Structure 1
Amino acid sequence: MDHLQEESDRREAVVFPGVRESLDAVDEEELVRRTAAGDRRAFDELYRRTSPMLAVRLRRRCSDADVVADVLQETYLSVWRAAGSFAGAAAQGSALGWLWTIAANRLVDAFRRRARQEQVPPVPVAETVAPAAEDEVMAGRVGQDLEQALLRLPLEVRQVLRAMVLDGLSARDTAVLLNVPEGTVKSRARRARIALREALS
Structure 2
Amino acid sequence: MFRRPAFSQEEQYSLPACLYQRYAVKLFSYVCRHVSTREDAEDLLLEVFLALLEHEHTLAARSEDEQRAWLWTVARNKVIDFHKRLARRQQTNPFQQASEVVDDERNTPEAVLLQKEDYHHLHSFVQSLPAKQQEVLQLHFGCGLNCVEIAAVVRKREGAVRTMLSRTLNRLRTMYRNRGTN
Normalising by structure 1, we get a TM-score of 0.45
Return the structure number with greater helix share. 1
Higher relative contact order (CA 8 A, sep 6+): 2
Normalising by structure 2, we get a TM-score of 0.49
Larger radius of gyration between Structure 1 and Structure 2: 1
